[in-house]
Chains A and B, each alone.
Chain A
Amino acid sequence: QEYNLSLAHWVPATHPLQVLGMEPWMQSITEESGGRITFTVYPAQQLGAAADHYDMARDGIADIAFINPGYQPGRFPILAAAELPFLFANATGAVRGLTEWYQQGGYDDMEMGDVYFCMALTHDPGTMHGKEPILVPEDVRGRTVRPANATEARFVNLLGGASVQVPAPAMREVLSNGTADITQSPWQSLYIFGADTLVTHHLDMPFYASINGFVMNRGMIDGMPEDLRTIMTNHCSPEAAETMSTGWAGAEAAGRASIAADPAHTMHTPNAEQVALWQAAAEPLTAEWLALMASQGRDGEAMLQGLRDALARYDGLYGQ
């Protein structure tokens, strides 16, 4: 039997994740299966809204879907641990550790049991970019910030700033009209979304990551003959996650080099003391997450330690 699998996502077809990540991944599967598994890609929300992609894979609207669990706050509380600030040192090693932790801990079955969880992904860590220097938490007080995700929005509020929640493409607009003074973004995305001329001061530390992933329709994967299913599951591994994320991470990181080389921009690198200030400021977020886990009868401390260990195993943990 031959399979033509539909892969749905919501970034442009020209995005480095499709060009450098998904396309080689699909090609590898097609080759290993001797052409029995092929793919049709539906980019840019062609089959549904970005936030619906999990349900689309669950319901069989698409066979494989690219998801951002953070678009539906509360729905995937365990994976939300990865949204806590100052965890990820990079994308590549970190997604390998994250995928391993999530799959081997069986957390994917606990909160994503109605799909087949393939891999977790993220971009190269993003940070704060402002019109004024940002070095310590106090620099955010009284400022308006465009946060990257819901966890970051809470962090901004904790720091005494106000958040303006708009998607990345609207980032330039709110910065240019003064609605926001600071934006959170990976480096290259500043250029992609035209914000590079508006924010000239950059906090140079891996500050946050937004979590993404690929999930698959259960019926599709279970219905495959053994040999094909093995090919698919082999491509849904911590190693596969690292391979998938490498090209995208490189593209975002190249943006940091461009900013650093540009005399119009200033990088502010915090020292160990200043880094500690940021981490202390983020403590309540961790506490909130631990409380949430406790309320569900889970040992959050152990889970979070497990995540840190997994990240450290692949040099993906920040501050190690």
Chain B
Amino acid sequence: MLAGLLLGLCTILIVVSAIGRYALTTPVPDSFDVSRLLIGACIMWGFASVGYRGGHITVDLFVEMMPERARRWVEFLAWAVLLLFVVLLAWKMFGRVDSAMRSNESTFDLRLPVWPLMALIWAGTAISIFTVTVRLFLLASGKATPEFEREAAQKLD
């Protein structure tokens, strides 16, 4: 929800910069860098949300042929693998943010430091550790149902 609003903000930023570029022939400074970093933040915060609710692209064919109990185990295992990935990602991505801060990486136009926005992206990854863990607990305790049947609109092609 919060990340969704962030996406709205990005849309507006790009629209404003496009209008600025064509109608006023004055580009909005750093709209390029800021919008792409903000989208990155949206995606990682959204990643946290998907880590809790599910909605990743998966191959369901084989799991659907399994009995109910086995499915539950497979679902738990799959989410454990996701947790491993997220932990590694959060650890290494922190190094990237740290490097950006130490080396004064900045935006092209206004030379603003990029690390605060990168830190926002990292925060989404860190929260993913939490959301994925929570879902793992819920799966283990039988409180969450595996996502056999997914919302139609969440699947995309």
Interface residues of A, Cβ cutoff 8 Å to B: 55, 72-75, 77, 111, 142, 144, 150, 153-154, 162-165, 179
Contact = CB atoms under 8 A, between A and B. Distances in A.
- For chain B, which range describes its interface: under 10, 10 to 19, 20 to 34, or 35 or more residues? 10 to 19
Interface in B25-53: 25-27, 32
A162 B27 contact: yes
A55 B32 CA distance: 22
Interface of B: 21, 25-27, 32, 96, 99, 103-109, 111, 113
B25 A162 contact: yes
B106 A74 contact: yes
Contacts of B108: 73, 150, 153, 165
A126 B7 CA distance: 39
23 contacts: A55-B99, A72-B105, A73-B106, A73-B108, A73-B111, A74-B103, A74-B104, A74-B105, A74-B111, A75-B103, A75-B104, A111-B103, A142-B25, A150-B108, A153-B108, A154-B109, A162-B21, A162-B26, A164-B21, A164-B27, A165-B32, A165-B108, A179-B21
Contacts of A150: 108
A162 B31 CA distance: 14
A111 B25 CA distance: 37
Given A74-B113, A75-B104, A165-B32, 15 more contacts: A55-B96, A55-B99, A72-B103, A72-B105, A73-B107, A73-B111, A74-B103, A74-B105, A74-B111, A75-B103, A142-B25, A153-B108, A154-B109, A162-B26, A162-B27
Q: What is the interface of chain B mostly: helix, strand, loop, or mixed?
A: loop
A277 B111 CA distance: 27
Contacts of B27: 162-164
B20 to A, nearest CB: 9
B124 to A, nearest CB: 20
B105 A144 contact: no
A55 to B, nearest CB: 7
Contacts of A163: 27
Contacts of B25: 142, 144, 162
B105 A75 contact: yes
A318 B104 CA distance: 30
Contacts of B96: 55
Nearest to A147: B108
Nearest to A77: B104
A147 B45 CA distance: 34
Nearest to A165: B32
A258 B59 CA distance: 56
B148 to A, nearest CB: 37
B18 to A, nearest CB: 11
Contacts of A144: 25
A52 to B, nearest CB: 10
A154 B25 CA distance: 16
Nearest to A166: B32
B26, B103, B111 — most chain A CB neighbours (10 Å): B103
A153 B21 contact: no
B10 to A, nearest CB: 18
B32, B104, B111 — most chain A CB neighbours (10 Å): B104
B32 A73 contact: no
A176 B59 CA distance: 44
